[in-house]
Amino acid sequence: MLDQPQGVSIGELAARLRRRECSSRELTADYLARIERHDSALNSFITVTPEAALAAADAADQRLARGEGGPLTGIPIAHKDIFCTQGVRTSCASRMLDNFIAPYDATVVSRLNQAGAVSLGKTNMDEFAMGSSNETSWYGPVKNPWDTTRVPGGSSGGSAAAVAAGLCLAATGTDTGGSIRQPAAFCGITGIKPTYGRCSRWGMIAFASSLDQAGVLARSAADAAHVLQAMAGFDPNDSTCADEPVPDYATNLNDSPRGLRIGVPREFLSPELDSRIAAVIEQAIELLCQLGAERHDISLPNSALSVPAYYVVAPAECSSNLARFDGVRFGHRCADPIDLDDLYQRSRGEGFGTEVKRRIMIGTYVLSAGYYDAYYLKAQKIRRLIKEDFQRAFAEVDIILGPTAPTTAFALGAKTADPVAMYLNDIFTISTNLAGLPGMSVPVAPVAGLPVGLQLIGNYFAEARLLNVAHQLQQASDWHLARPTEQKLRS
Amino acid sequence: MQPSDVARIANLAKLAADASEIDQYASELTAILSMVEQMNALDTTAIEPLAHPLELTQRLRSDQITEPDQRKYFQQIAPMTEDGFYLVPRVIE
């Protein structure tokens, strides 16, 4: 049995499992006990599946006993409740899907199952992944394990809080405008959003289809590499999935950053940024330069327009995607509808929460007759300019670094009354989604006891480079090893 | 955005909303759209719109049946069915 499960990496645990020093059943039972003990303070899980987890652990132990299995066999993880899991409630944190038992597994879920990972359950999130604080969930907000009066970030806030609190070793997430990177930053863990199309979206409940991408929340770049390896790759069931070979992410982790050209956008490290956050970001960039990287100051001139363009494109796609929730085939249906229109209107009016309805209405408005050119087409043109900014930058540099978010985790309730203030918290992450580029967040030195994330942005399909640079930073520092204390979890 | 605009949009989006919700949405949607209108600061006349980040076109597959019939299984989670059909209120009297 492990006395300190928080301090152990996936690689070390996999080695112990292979040497039969511990069993996956013991490990899984240990994590289930941690969830039982701590999650009432955090609310990071919507559904815990102990029986299925222990059965998967037993199957993993049998594989390991035969000398089979890979780096994830027997490793306890969790899935964001946006991924369909056969026979298990998949709610997307919405009343609309509170009664929805998914009839099949998402491709990402089945690949991780095949790799032998043990799913402990489904993590809390913003409703339909719409939010930056995990406060829009039908199941209540998630609390930040570093300070339970603060938000964990969102929308993958349950996954981030669970990983940070040591309730699972890694978790899946999705990132449409920053939903992996921002909660990873707020919770002091490592998160990677791959290139658009790198992981299959099949069975991942759609929010904005040209932006959504699955990724990983973990405690280190090396751990994230193991999980992404199992998830990534072509899937004929997703017509937007990239048919590109997946490199072995472990191979290049130890490459030296000597000669690496780092681009620092002046729009990201501007004088308006909180000087304490700027200082710890600069400290991390300086560390990479000491390891041999070169710093280049660059510009992404249109990045300020990423939030306005995103709040046209994402709601437009969401209004279309969420049209399928009609109270007819699955999900919430209102009581005693008088006619078909009443059935649609009340099922949707009752099933969706306020933020989801806000976004459906924005999307419906910008796509409605007479407004399409002024909003939707305009936003798609800005989207091209943002992509071109990055393409120009990547002609000169190998990687772009800056802060993940303009603040540390804010207080629960601080931004719920002002949607625009909430949206602007994603100012540094959204442009990456509009361009379809891979992005990552890794912890740097804390500010006032709260985690801060360094964002790494790479060129298309450069996930191996991101993981390599993040790993090198983590080899040379110990910021990623900081953990919230159990005392904080109890408070 | 006026409450009457919100009522029209809510109807297009098939979302039931009462009067107080509509007033609330009117002020929030106005604030969001004024943030969105920062886009107008930039002249984009000559710019081609970008719909797909990698500018790929949709992949096609051959027109063959690949899925087995799982109607019974899928209808287990339906709110109301009869004889294999999904039930809704009467549409034609």
Q: What single letter denotes the amino acid at residue A489?
A: L
- Per DSSP, chain B holds a count of helices (H) and strands (E) of 3, 2
* Mean pLDDT confidence for A45-74: 97
Q: Given this model, what pLDDT does residue A3 score?
A: 44
Identify the weakest region by mean pLDDT among A272-281, A441-450, B27-36, B83-92.
B83-92
| Averaged pLDDT of chain B | 93
> A107-114 vs A221-231: helix axis angle to the nearest 10?
110
* Mean pLDDT confidence for A379-408: 98
Token digits of residue A12? 């070390």
Instruction: Name the closest residue on chain B to residue A241, using Cα atoms.
Output: B59
- Told to judge if A155 belongs to the known catalytic residues of this protein, a careful annotator would answer yes
Of residues A312, A378, A435, nearest to B44 (C-beta): A378
Q: Given this model, what pLDDT does residue B56 score?
A: 82
| Averaged pLDDT of chain A | 96
pLDDT > 70: percent of chain A:
98
Is the pLDDT assigned to residue B21 strictly greater than 70? yes
Contact between residue A131 and residue A176 where contact means Cβ atoms under 8 Å apart: no
Residues pairing with A121 in the sheet: A48
Cα distance between residue A409 and residue A425, in whole Å: 10
Is there a cis peptide before residue A347, judged by omega within 30 degrees of 0? no
| Residue owning tokens 């904005």 | A208
Token digits of residue A56? 């998967």
Identify the weakest region by mean pLDDT among A5-9, A62-66, A230-234.
A5-9
Q: Given this model, what pLDDT does residue B60 score?
A: 86
Tell me how far apart the terminal alpha carbons of chain A are, to the nearest angstrom.
26
* Mean pLDDT confidence for A99-107: 96
Q: What is the ipTM of this complex?
A: 0.96
Contacts of A393 (CB under 8 A, 6+ apart): A263, A265, A298, A299, A300, A400
| Residue owning tokens 């112990």 | A16
* H helix intervals, A115-250: 157-164, 181-187, 221-231
Q: Given this model, what pLDDT does residue A236 score?
A: 93
pLDDT digits (tens, 9 = 90+) for A412-468: 999 999 999 999 999 999 999 999 999 999 999 999 999 999 999 999 999 999 999
Decide if B40 touches A, using CB distance below 8 A: yes
CB contact under 8 A, B49 and A381: yes
Contacts of A64 (CB under 8 A, 6+ apart): A17, A18, A20, A23, A24, A73, A74
Cα-based angle A68, A69, A70 (whole degrees, multiple of 5): 135
Decide if A99 touches B, using CB distance below 8 A: yes
CA–chain centroid gap for A271, Å, is 28
Q: Given this model, what pLDDT does residue B12 score?
A: 97
Instruction: Name the closest residue on chain B to residue A365, using Cα atoms.
Output: B9
Contact between residue A312 and residue A375 where contact means Cβ atoms under 8 Å apart: yes
Tell me how far apart the terminal alpha carbons of chain B are, to the nearest angstrom.
38
The band of A7, judged by pLDDT with boundaries at 50, 70 and 90, is low
Q: Given this model, what pLDDT does residue A6 score?
A: 53
Contact between residue A425 and residue A406 where contact means Cβ atoms under 8 Å apart: yes
| Residue owning tokens 């029986």 | A51
Is there a cis peptide before residue A155, judged by omega within 30 degrees of 0? yes
Instruction: Name the closest residue on chain A to residue B26, using Cα atoms.
Output: A358
Q: Given this model, what pLDDT does residue A490 score?
A: 60
* Mean pLDDT confidence for A36-40: 96
Contacts of A173 (CB under 8 A, 6+ apart): A80, A156, A159, A160, A179, A180, A183, A191, A214, A215, A216, A217
pLDDT > 90: percent of chain A:
96
- Told to judge if A179 belongs to the known catalytic residues of this protein, a careful annotator would answer yes
Q: Given this model, what pLDDT does residue A196 score?
A: 97
Contact between residue A172 and residue A159 where contact means Cβ atoms under 8 Å apart: yes
Contact between residue A351 and residue A345 where contact means Cβ atoms under 8 Å apart: no
Is the pLDDT assigned to residue A48 strictly greater than 60? yes
Task: Name the minimum distance, in Å, from the CA of B71 to any CA of chain A.
Answer: 11
Is the pLDDT assigned to residue A487 strictly greater than 80? no
Total residue length of chain B: 93
Per CB-CB distance under 8 Å, the chain A contacts of B50 are 380-381, 383-384, 387
Q: Given this model, what pLDDT does residue A488 score?
A: 66
Q: What is the pTM assigned to this prediction?
A: 0.97
- Ramachandran sector of residue A198 (left: φ over 0; alpha: ψ -120 to 50; beta: rest): alpha
Instruction: Name the closest residue on chain A to residue B11, using Cα atoms.
Output: A345
Q: Given this model, what pLDDT does residue A149 score?
A: 97
pLDDT digits (tens, 9 = 90+) for A307-351: 999 999 999 999 999 999 999 999 999 999 999 999 999 999 999
Per CB-CB distance under 8 Å, the chain A contacts of B49 are 377, 380-381, 383-384
Of residues B15, B77, B86, nearest to A103 (C-beta): B77
Residues pairing with A215 in the sheet: A173
Is the pLDDT assigned to residue A472 strictly greater than 70? yes
Quick one: which of A29, A20, A18, A19 has its CA closest to A5? A29
Of residues B51, B86, B89, nearest to A210 (C-beta): B51
Identify the weakest region by mean pLDDT among A120-134, A149-163, B50-64.
B50-64
Is the pLDDT assigned to residue B93 strictly greater than 80? no
CA–chain centroid gap for B85, Å, is 24
Token digits of residue B2? 């006026």
Contact between residue A136 and residue A130 where contact means Cβ atoms under 8 Å apart: yes
Tell me which residues of chain A, numbers 193 to 222, contact chain B at a CB-CB cutoff of 8 Å. Answer: 195-197, 210-211
Find the helix or strand (DSSP H, E) in which B91 lies: none
